[in-house]
Chains A and B, each alone.
Chain A
């Protein structure tokens, strides 16, 4: 490292710790809330340190609380959410990587038209297109199916954009060399492009998995059966701000459950693609 005096290192650590305090505090606070009694939560302000109800709250929530209010067992909820998040993440990556591949490594009429057609999809909020999109789902018979939950959410430009930008940086010599070796477009894609893209895929997987995991409005609309619910819907079902009691301590536990799996994905995948990055440095 260059110019790393102890003072500078100290400042860097201090800034990072402060940053983490700001960024991660709300999650810590959710955890704190999940270890207090309902009465403590109902009478703000909430203490800054965890309470003594950890086991009590978590066991109540897991063995009855969430299932009772959500109407479906926690396992089913987590399973549905995982399927949805995985399908969206994988589906999106697959369709974007192949379309970006076509746009960068082939010349064909309407190439850039296609690119812009895809790119513009960054720009229309779901709420605006809800009525017509819902009608399409009904006409296709996709209500209450995993396809209905995931297909519309795969139409996104970010992933295509990212792959395209990455592919642009791949030297033409590589393509030429592959062609001299007699490799066709499939082999080039499989043997050269995919291995090169693995860190991009990892980063996108994280982003899209979380995108899928945290969906709320769309799953709410296209599912009419409780056993198709996701954990975020079940969570919202538990929360009432007006006119009903809310068991906030159990809500907070459910929050933690809804947050933990995507956090695991972030942490595990992050190691993978960061390692990819670090390796290139040597």
Chain B
């Protein structure tokens, strides 16, 4: 089952070891992980495992809407951002000077930038790990119980419906060291909880907030992934005398790998890009620069301080980092993924 090398040419059907019922709608969720397929090999036609429709024009028509929207609302602005990253310009665009890579040089030689790179690494790993671990634990438990299963699932995923703008405010009410009720509780219990001045407390706080927002999403995917694992496989292992923990690590977890991998990509991207709102609401990057992540710095320099050139240069660097990271995940992590 584990496929470190791909016998693609002989692989006529989907890589499932067990029969796939025609009406199986659920497996799709499980198949969340992007497969390292023909795209990497460069010889895609030769390796293509798929049966396809012969049609010369139709496929272009089908991808056209998405490509059009992507081009207008993504590539065009991204190109502008790239151009902007080589300009020195006032916010209103009244004076601008083309400076080639000066902005990049300045950004990269700034010790604060290196600091926020470190902060980002700690923050992203912690956030992805915490949110996925908690969600997996809860999903496994939800898979186990019979009574109340539906209610648990429902209650678990509705926090997902909370707008970030609202979530930021909720966090203020709960955990803000001066306003928050939970901060009150922690202090009352004798914890010296002071994220306003203690960098570690602040990091714990933003990681908690960011993970909390993502737990529901991960839970949803893990539950679906677990559902798609045939109970017969687990039962067989049980008959062989494997204990529950062993069954989980030898059978369930490997079979969940595609889901886990998909979530790893999504959560990394989330931690990198979608968390500045939380950091903005909860710590504002402080204390000092203890929670200033790369994307928060992009936001703050560009949106608040209006240093457009530096901000654009930073976002270009950020994009390069994330593209590199994703390529790395696809090439190396994904090889260890069991598609089965």
Contacts and interface: CB of A to CB of B under 8 A. Distances in A.
B134 A132 contact: no
A181 B302 CA distance: 58
A182 interface: no
Nearest to A27: B159
A138 to B, nearest CB: 13
Given A23-B212, A27-B158, A168-B37, A105 B50 contact: yes
- State which size class the interface on B falls in: 35 or more
B165 A232 contact: yes
Given A95-B66, A281-B227, A158 B81 contact: no
A125 B276 contact: yes
A39 to B, nearest CB: 15
A24 interface: yes
Contacts of B94: none
Contacts of A277: 25-26, 29, 224, 227-228
Chief secondary structure at chain B's binding surface: helix
Contact of A127 (B84, B161, B302): B302
Chief secondary structure at chain A's binding surface: helix
Contacts of A164: 34
Contacts of A128: 77, 81, 298, 302, 311-312, 315
Contacts, number: 352
Given A106-B59, A124-B81, A174-B22, A19 B138 contact: yes
30 contacts: A13-B145, A15-B138, A16-B145, A19-B134, A19-B156, A26-B167, A27-B162, A99-B63, A105-B52, A111-B59, A124-B77, A125-B295, A128-B311, A129-B77, A132-B77, A151-B69, A158-B266, A165-B28, A165-B31, A171-B14, A173-B12, A184-B53, A195-B25, A200-B29, A203-B220, A232-B163, A263-B161, A266-B154, A273-B25, A280-B24
Interface of A: 1-4, 8-9, 11-13, 15-16, 19-20, 22-27, 29-30, 33, 44-46, 48, 94-96, 98-99, 101-108, 111-112, 114-125, 127-133, 136, 151-152, 154-155, 158, 160-162, 164-166, 168-176, 179, 184-185, 188, 195-200, 203, 206-207, 210, 213-214, 216, 232, 235-236, 239, 255, 258-259, 262-263, 265-267, 270-271, 273-274, 276-281
